[in-house]
Amino acid sequence: MSVINFEFRNEVLKHNASLSYCYQCSTCSGGCPVALITNGVYNPRKIIEEAILGLKDKLVETQDPNPWLCSTCQKCVELCPQKVELTEIFTLIKNRCFEAKKCPEAFYSQGQAVLENGVAIPYSNAIIARRKKLGLPEIKTASVDELKVIMKETNFEKNIKKGE
């Protein structure tokens, strides 16, 4: 049985007041490409409902439905008749998952790659050579030193490994 966490509910509402305008019409889920390809396993409307109800244990601990499946395509935001900023709410929920060390392993791996290379997916030598041959500009990457400061300030380095 899920327990209402009023502190979490108020935090979500304070973070994004547009949530209080949601009347659960399901337009977000009907237009969500991830909901469509997962046959409704991923359900933006359900995440919003659980946020409105303050069901932090379902959203953060059990992740049912899983907020990490959101591709942030903004389709739900575009379609919402009440202009609820769903992806902003999903980001807050993902941040709470991170703080609770409840993130997919791929999230940590991608963060580690950014920390080491300045990009999530380093470019292969073949791609770099092909770009040069085609006369395309060199791809700039973020400063690893600056990224390390950001990662430190956001506690990413501390939470880089699940369970540490």
Q: Does domain 6-99 have CATH number 1.20.1250.20?
A: no
25, two tokens: 């019409």
What span, in angstroms and rounded, lies between the C-alpha atoms of 52 and 38?
A: 23
pLDDT category at 164 given cuts 50, 70, 90 is very low
Q: Per-domain residue ranges for the chain?
A: 6-99, 105-153
pLDDT category at 119 given cuts 50, 70, 90 is confident
Residues near 146 by beta carbon (within 8 Å), at least 6 away in sequence: none
The reported pLDDT for the residue numbered 121 is: 85
- Note the pLDDT tens digit of each residue in 20-67: 899 999 999 999 999 999 998 999 999 999 999 999 999 999 999 999
pLDDT at residue 162 is higher than 80: no
pLDDT category at 161 given cuts 50, 70, 90 is low
